[in-house]
Amino acid sequence: MNPHPFRAAIESGELDNIGNLFVENAVLKSPVAHRPYHGRGVIAAIIAAVASVLEGFRFEKELTGGGDHALMFNATVAGLRIQGCDFVHTREDGLIDEITVMVRPLRAATVFAERMGAAIEASGLVGKTPAHQRLPHPSRSASDEC
């Protein structure tokens, strides 16, 4: 079985065109934000930020059923092991219209959220997205964004 194109792109490190795997109005449900992100450009920028935050990222398992895929991964963040799963829905035309990410354990997820906030802010994406799509600032709790 060939890996899902999203997995293949991440594993190859070729992220410049990763947005092309998504429909224009794709949705990303993040483990560190209360509201989903919309749009392939925003999602591509978030994926690039994730690549800069997580170390030793590797997919361990891929489960597939029709247009639904679960891509289980391991990585480290600030020396902490983080485990997660990308739940990817692919339309019949092969484009991703929704991705939901879950991570554990809580300590690593908290550090991941802080590092992602800093990476998004440093990338300049914070000022270019609507407020409801921004990651929480590292100095505020996620509940401040509701």
pLDDT value of position 99: 98
Residue 64 lies in a domain: yes
pLDDT value of position 89: 98
Residue 106 lies in a domain: yes
Residue 133 lies in a domain: no
pLDDT digits (tens, 9 = 90+) for 64-109: 998 999 999 999 999 999 999 999 999 999 999 999 999 999 999 9
**pLDDT-based confidence at 126, cuts 50/70/90?**
low
| pTM of the predicted model as reported, rounded to 2 decimal places | 0.83
Residue 2 lies in a domain: no
Pairing of strands 37-38, 22-29: antiparallel
Please report, for the domain that includes residue 68, its CATH number.
3.10.450.50
- The number of residues making up the chain comes to 146
Q: Is 70 exceeded by the pLDDT of residue 19?
A: yes
Question: What are 23's strand-pairing partners?
Answer: none
pLDDT value of position 127: 52
- Number of domains forming the structure of the chain: 1
Residue 74 lies in a domain: yes
Listed residue (120, 118, 108, 116) closest to 84, CA to CA: 108
Q: Is 90 exceeded by the pLDDT of residue 146?
A: no
Residue 134 lies in a domain: no
pLDDT digits (tens, 9 = 90+) for 46-68: 999 999 999 999 999 999 998 99
pLDDT above 70 covers a percentage of the chain that reads 85
Quote the crossing angle between the two packed helices 106-123 and 40-53, to the nearest 10°.
Answer: 120
> Which residue is it, tokens 């992220």?
15
Residue 131 lies in a domain: no
Residue 75 lies in a domain: yes
Print the domain residue range for 39: 15-123
